[in-house]
Amino acid sequence: MSLLEIKSLYKHFGGVKAVDGVDYQVDAGEVVSVIGPNGAGKTTLFNVVTGFNAPDSGEIIFDGQRVDGLKPNQITLVGIARTFQAVRLFPNMTVIENVMVGQHPRTRSGLTGAILGLPRTRKEEKAITAKAREILGFFGDAFPSSTEDEYAGSLSYADRRRLEIGRAMATEPKLLLLDEPTAGMNPAETEGLTKLIGRLRDERGLTVVVIEHDMRLVKGVSDRVTALDYGQKIAEGTYAEVASNPQVIEAYLGKRDDDEATAPAQPAEKA
């Protein structure tokens, strides 16, 4: 059974058909990619799934449950977490606090517990800290314990990207949506992230959907690739199938024009 199922989803902004009748499925345990030129509606698709934008029509079924129209915090609670295209950490909170915030939907202490310092609350607080450290440990040497009290805003760009993934992991999702996780990373960092995404599935049992422009990463991680253009699905299949699909090549390159910037097929061959 599929973990996420999207049925004829529509989201228009005025005249812009950002998501225009998309059907889409993700099975549990898959790592899938969504590609497409800028403005193809990839991020809007994420926003609709995570409750940031309400869909105009269509159904989103997650884990057998209708989730369209829920608020973002409710979506997180049912088990979908995301990162953002432009990194959006809490810059004036420390590294570990950022991850600890992610534990929010999985914990319950409230005002009374905090004020009175109830044993249950303290225990929970300890568990949150331990969980956060464990998640930071997942990133290898990126966050040694000496950095956990540093402000997130002071991290390097790549580390911010990693921390954002860590924070999303802390919400203990079943499905993780990564919006251009390698944007601004150098090739070595991108390669590291490619391995990391594989480990997210293999070690943490996560299902991952990646929006990505970097075709090395798409090729490296994806079980399946979906291409969007003008809010519609234009191709779906293995990387090789999608990369050789004429419609996809056209969407990226325009008709019979050589443009090296974002071509999916050729640079991928090199890599």
CB of 247 to other proteins, least distance (A): 33
DSSP string covering 206-223: -EEEEE-S-HHHHHHH-S
Of 23 and 134, which CB lies nearer to other proteins in the complex structure? 134
Stretch that binds other proteins, among 6-14, 69-77, 217-225, 248-256 (CB under 8 A): 69-77
Binding mask 22-61 for other proteins (x = CB under 8 A): ----------------------------x-x---------
Q: At residue 127, what is the residue type? A: A
Residue 198: CB partners within 8 Å, gap ≥ 6? 31, 220, 221
Stretch that binds other proteins, among 24-32, 61-69, 87-95, 223-231 (CB under 8 A): 87-95
C-beta atoms surrounding 245 within 10 Å: 19
> Is-contact 19 44, C-beta < 8 A?
yes
CA 61 vs. chain centroid, Å, equals 18
Distances (CA, A) of 84 to 50, 64, 160, 167: 11, 26, 11, 12
198: contact with other proteins by CB under 8 A: no
The Cβ-side half-sphere exposure at 27, using a 13 Å CA radius, reads 6
166: contact with other proteins by CB under 8 A: no
Stretch that binds other proteins, among 20-28, 36-44, 136-144, 226-234 (CB under 8 A): 136-144
Residues contributing to the site for other proteins (CB under 8 A) = 50, 52, 71-73, 76-77, 81-82, 84, 88-94, 96-97, 100-107, 109-111, 113-115, 117, 121-122, 124-126, 128-129, 133, 137, 139-142, 144-146, 149-151, 158, 167, 171, 188-189, 191-193, 195-196
